[in-house]
Structure 1
Amino acid sequence: MKKNIVLIGGTHGIGHAIVSQIASDHNLFIASRTNEGLDNLDVEHILFDATKDEIGTDQLPEEIHGFVFCPGSINLKPFKMMGLDTFEQDMQLNFFSLVRVLKTIMPKMADNASMVFFSTVAVTSGMPFHTSVSASKGAIEGFAKSLAAEYAPKLRVNVVAPSLVDTPLATRLLNNEKKREAMADRHPLKRVGTPEDIANIAVFLLSDDSSWMTGQIIGVDGGLSTLNIN
């Protein structure tokens, strides 16, 4: 039986890589601001802006077997240069929009369903200029662990914490060869991540192969969070 998988965001970067891997095997419902990149895939598209829209239950399947929340931000600035509004915007996009969607879809979650959220390596590693994004993604990590505990054994909830990934969101950080080489060199595996690197673990977490995993924060970061080889 094909599973019903709901993705918030799925037209760019990591989200699109996930969609590309599982579209032929599952019933996908993609909620995003555009349907760009979905033309040749057998998916249901729902026009949706995570920052302001409420997702309608009539647009979703009766049972949801997997849920992935992809929207995120990369606001990298010195703390002294960021106003309170930056922190509020990051928290709204990264965390409160997730909570708002979950309030709608939780009654539809099937037994043994899997949820996948995204954080960042900076939450555990402590990186300069990451105060805003780390605060909002850190909220996701704590929330996910509590949600996993509250809904076990019915639901599984896990978080993927990547390092820098070559997506449209990271264009400013990788827009020339010098920057790309410098970013790659920071990682023990000497490259930045690809959307497929992150999609691989997300797809695994959605599958029954990860059926004994919940409440985990999984680093997919080229070794950055745990290895010091410099």
Structure 2
Amino acid sequence: MKKNILLIGGSYGIGLEIAKQLSEEYAVYVASRTSEKLNETNITYIPFDANTDVLDITNLPNELHGFAYCPGSINLKPFKMMSLDTFESDMQLNFFSMVKVIKEIIPLMAKESSMVLFSTVAVGSGMPYHTSVAAAKGAVEGFGKSLAAEYAPKIRVNVIAPSLVNTPLANRLLSSDKKVENMSQRHPLKRIGLAEDIANTAVFLLSEKSSWITGQIIGVDGGISTLNLS
């Protein structure tokens, strides 16, 4: 019998890549706004908007073995140009909507199950113009560690902190070859991330291969958070 994994936001980018990889081995449930790219056999689609909807758990199996919350935002502006509404919307999507979903599904989490949340490299490494997203994702990191402590050993909880990844969410930052090259050169590995890079780590954390890992903030960032080659 296949194990059940729930992804919030799996219709494009990192979430879609996670869903595709997981569908080879697991029964995957994707709750997201759209479904046009979800063609794999073992994926069940649930219409869901993280900002406005309450997840209907009657559409889910009685037991979940894995969970990942994938929605995110990239609002990069100088602090003096950042409205309070932007801070509130970033916090709502990245943190409060995540907490709301976890409140609903945590009674379904099986023994020795796994949760994966997403942060950003900008939480651990101060970066200009990231005040809003860093604040929201900083809340995710603190929440993830505390949840991991509270639910050990039943549920493992880990947080992935990527750097810039070539997904639709980052289109504005990577809209030309020059921008891609400039961003690539900032990273010690001299390229920006791919959805597959992040999905590979998420799938590992959702699997039994990571059964001795919990409460961690894992940087998948081309080395930018820890290496200074200048």
* Alignment of 1:227 onto 2:227: yes
3-state SS of the aligned residue for 1:222? coil
Structure 1 stretches of 4+ with a deviation exceeding 3 A read none
Amino acid at match of 1:67: F
Alpha-carbon offset, residue 40 of structure 1: 4.1
SS in 2 for 1:161: strand
Show the counterpart of 2:30. Answer: 30
Matched residue, 1:67: 67
SS of alignment partner, residue 128 of structure 1: coil
One-letter code aligned to 1:216: Q
Structure 1 CA distance, aligned partners of 2:41 and 2:172?
29
Counterpart amino acid of residue 12 in structure 1: Y
Letter in 2 for 1:52: T
Structure-1-length-normalised TM-score: 0.99
2:69 alignment partner AA: F
Task: Report the 3-state secondary structure (helix = DSSP H, G, I; strand = E; otherwise coil) of the residue aligned with 1:46.
Answer: strand
Partner of 1:125: 125
Aligned to 1:114: 114
Sequence identity (%): 67
Alignment of 1:1-230 (within 5 A): 1-230=1-230
Shift in Å at residue 57 of structure 1?
1.4
- The C-alpha deviation readout for 1:58-93, integer Å capped at 9, x for no partner, is 011100000010000000000000111100000000
Aligned residues between the structures: 230
After superposition, give the CA deviation of every residue in 1:21-65 in whole Å (9 maximum; x if it has no partner). 111211111000011201344311000000010011101110000
Q: Which amino acid aligns with 1:166?
A: N
Structure 1's unaligned 5+ residue stretches are none
User: Aligned to 1:199, what secondary structure does the other structure show?
Assistant: helix
TM-score computed with the length of structure 2 as normaliser: 0.99
RMSD over aligned CA atoms reads 0.7
Question: Per-residue deviation at 1:98?
Answer: 0.3
CA contact (8 A) 2:23 2:40 kept: no
Instruction: Give the distance between the partners of 2:176 and 2:113, measured in 1 at CA.
Output: 41
Q: What SS does the aligned partner of 2:141 have?
A: helix
Secondary structure (helix, strand or coil) at the match of 2:80 reads helix
Please state whether the residue corresponding to 1:34 is helix, strand or coil.
coil
Tell me the amino acid that sits aligned with residue 55 of structure 2: I
Determine the C-alpha separation between the residues in 1 that align with 2:171 and 2:81: 21
